[in-house]
Structure 1
Amino acid sequence: MRYLVILFWSLILGQVVGFIGAKLTMNAYAFIPTVIASIVVALIVMLIDAIAIPTPKKQ
């Protein structure tokens, strides 16, 4: 469930950043490259989450 939340919010925030960035640089807004970049960032965040947080050891 948490991976779906990460993916959902990365897509939303990625679209916002892509739109604002396109307008600030006076370029055309491109939906598909922004989605791809958002998914890549989400995968990196998921990878960091899997590596950085240690799992508790059962005794």
Structure 2
Amino acid sequence: MGKLIVLFWSFILGQVVGYIGGALNSGTYSFVTTTVVSLIAGVLIMIIGNVAIPNETKKVSK
């Protein structure tokens, strides 16, 4: 469920950034390109999140 939420928000925020970035650069807004880039960024964020979690060390009791 958490992965779906990350993809959903990366889609939404990617669309907003793509639209505003296109308007500021006097360029065109492409829904498909912005969607692909934002979802790839969301997947990369999920991968980094899974890799960056440190492994728990086992405590040795004496």
TM-score after normalising by structure 1: 0.90
Q: 1:6: which partner in 2?
A: 6
TM-score after normalising by structure 2: 0.86
Matches within 5 A, 1:1-59: 1-56=1-56
Superposed CA RMSD: 1.5
Deviation at 1:56, TM superposition (A): 3.8
Deviation at 1:54, TM superposition (A): 2.6
Q: Deviations over 1:4-51 (max 9, x none)?
A: 010000000000000000000001110000000001100110100110
Deviation at 1:57, TM superposition (A): 5.9
Partner SS for 1:11: helix
Deviation at 1:58, TM superposition (A): 7.2
State the percentage of identical aligned residues.
44
Structure 1: unaligned runs, 5 residues or longer: none
Structure 2: unaligned runs, 5 residues or longer: none
> How many residues align structurally?
59
Q: Quote the Cα distance in structure 2 between the aligned partners of 1:30 and 1:45.
A: 22
Return the structure number with greater helix share. Answer: 1
